[in-house]
Amino acid sequence: MNSLLTNPAEFAALVQRFFVERLLQQRNASPRTIAAYRDTFRMLLCYVERKIGKSPNKMALIDFNVALILDFLAYLESERHNTIRTRNARLATIRAFAHYVSLQCPEAMQLTQQIQAIPMKRFEKPMLGFLSREEIQALLEAPDDQTWYGYRDRILLILLYNTGARVSELIGIRVADVELTISPSVRLHGKGRKQRTVPLWKDTATKIRQWLLYAKLNPEQSLVPTRKGLPMTRSNVAERIALAVSSAIKHCPQLQGRKVTPHTLRHTTAMHLLQAGVDITIIALWLGHENPATTHGYIEADLSMKERALSTIALPPEIGQVRYHPSDDLLKFLESL
């Protein structure tokens, strides 16, 4: 058997070159992409050690086969309880590496082609959850702005609703990213090093000015920091939103039992813009969607828009709907096929 397939040093070198040459040098991948790919390989190598008893420094290319990858994907779903979406993301990383190996090591072509042929698993896409205007108003007013934490949480919630930012974009906003003079706006640092500028509503800009005077933050600090002045974490943001929801229930009982996440507020922003008549392409730019088709999911979620569309195409009462009836000759032709 070819030594390239059985030598552990060759496999380790391919993994290192994949990260350094392919991802960092050639693709200039973002730190988040590198971290996601790294985590997949960590899990895979730990699984290999458990499954076949080979430590990472003893794994060879011949071990990187379709049977192992299928077992690993099953392990992600059954034991780690990963969602299908997460399972597909891990598979995308593995297929990218398999493609790189096929270019660098033609001797492994059969192995890599089998791995690349593993399909992404289909899954049901849940309906988008969003808050009504009454619910979002109750949530925004829930934090106690007489305390430092409550004041910060109000700014956090207002920013999420105004900008439709992802939680990673929210915690990445620095004071220097906010423009509060002529045209109030905030610069968001999105996925894949993409940046976009989102306008701030007049009321949002006023509240941020007041917050900056109150918190005395320097330009390089996070706009919504922890009490120690450090950027908040994802889990920290989720906890503060959950706390605000529990307080808002007192004034808005319909929030009881609702799961409200940072992404729920992002969906809420999009839906309220859509219901206000904002064009879908503008909403796509607002949310930072690379493909406007992603934004069409919000149209599917809005029942009132569907009802309006239905009313515009309903036939007048005096016009009956006519069905097409094929002629006898056409039926005979079809039956003869």
Would residue 278 count as lying in a domain? yes
Q: Kindly report the CA angle at 45 between 41 and 47, in degrees rounded to 5?
A: 115
Please give the Cα distance from 117 to 102 (Å, whole number): 13
The pLDDT of residue 139 is 95
- Domain check: are 158 and 237 in the same one? yes
Q: Structure tokens of 140? A: 């925004």
Q: How far apart are CA 105 and CA 190, in angstroms?
A: 35
Total structural domains within the chain: 2
The answer to the question of residue 330 being in a domain is no
Judgement on whether residues 259 and 285 belong to the same structural domain of the protein: yes
Residue 184 domain flag: yes
> Between the CA of residue 107 and those of 4, 56, 68, 97, 104, what are the distances in Å?
8, 22, 19, 15, 9
pLDDT of amino acid 64: 92
pLDDT for the residue 319: 46
| Same-domain check for residues 137 and 54 | no
- Whether residue 153 is found in the same domain as residue 288: yes
Alpha-carbon dihedral angle through residues 96, 6, 48, 56, given to the nearest 10 degrees: -90
> How would you label 63-78 residue by residue, b for 16+ Cβ within 10 Å and e otherwise?
bbebebbeebbebbee
Residues 146 and 280 in one domain: yes
pLDDT number for residue 236: 93
Tell me how far apart the alpha carbons of residues 12 and 20 are, in angstroms, rounded to a whole number: 12
Of the candidates 57, 91, 59, 95, the one whose C-alpha atom is nearest the C-alpha of residue 73 is: 91
Non-local CB neighbours of 140 within 8 Å, separated by 6+ positions: 154, 157, 158, 161
What pLDDT sits at residue 88? Answer: 95
Q: Same domain, yes or no, for 79 and 138? A: no
Which pair of structure tokens corresponds to residue 314?
């309903």
CA distance 136 to 177: 25
CA distances from 167 to 163, 176, 209, 245 (A): 11, 18, 22, 17
d(CA 272, CA 285): 15
Q: Is residue 121 part of a domain?
A: no
Residues 104 and 167 in one domain: no
Per-residue confidence (pLDDT) for residue 66, from 0 to 100: 95
Active site residue ranges: 166, 191, 263, 266, 289, 298
- Do 112 and 53 lie in one domain? The reply is yes
Q: Which helix (H) or strand (E) holds 185?
A: strand 185-189
Per DSSP, what are the bridge partners of residue 178?
186
* Full residue range of the structural domain in which residue 222 is found: 133-312
325 in any annotated domain: no
Q: Are residues 168 and 42 in the same domain?
A: no
Are 187 and 301 part of one and the same domain? Answer: yes
Domain at 153, CATH number: 1.10.443.10
Cα–Cα distance measured from residue 15 to residue 1, given in angstroms and rounded to the nearest whole number:
21
Per-block mean pLDDT, blocks of 10 residues, the chain (337 long): 82 94 91 91 94 89 93 95 93 96 91 95 74 93 94 96 92 93 89 82 94 93 93 93 94 90 90 85 83 64 54 51 62 69
Q: Look at residues 88, 116, 144 and tell me which one is the last residue of a structural domain.
A: 116
CB 102 within 8 A of CB 108: yes
Specify the pLDDT at position 138: 95
Residue partners of 189: CB distance under 8 A and separation at least 6: 169, 172, 173, 177, 195
Tokens 């496999």 identify what position?
11
Cβ contact 292:298 at 8 Å: no
Alpha carbon separation from 238 to 6, 33, 202, 232 (Å, rounded): 47, 22, 26, 10
In a domain, 125, yes or no: no
Same structural domain for residues 63 and 187? Answer: no
Kindly list the distances between the CA atom of residue 220 and the CA atoms of 153, 173, 180, 232, 317, in Å, as whole numbers in the listed order: 20, 9, 16, 14, 65
Residues 223, 37: Cα–Cα separation, whole Å: 30
Tens of pLDDT along 298-336?
A: 665 555 555 555 555 554 545 455 565 656 776 676 677
The helix/strand/coil state of 214 is helix
For the whole model, what pTM was predicted? 0.66
Residue 143 and residue 96 share a domain: no
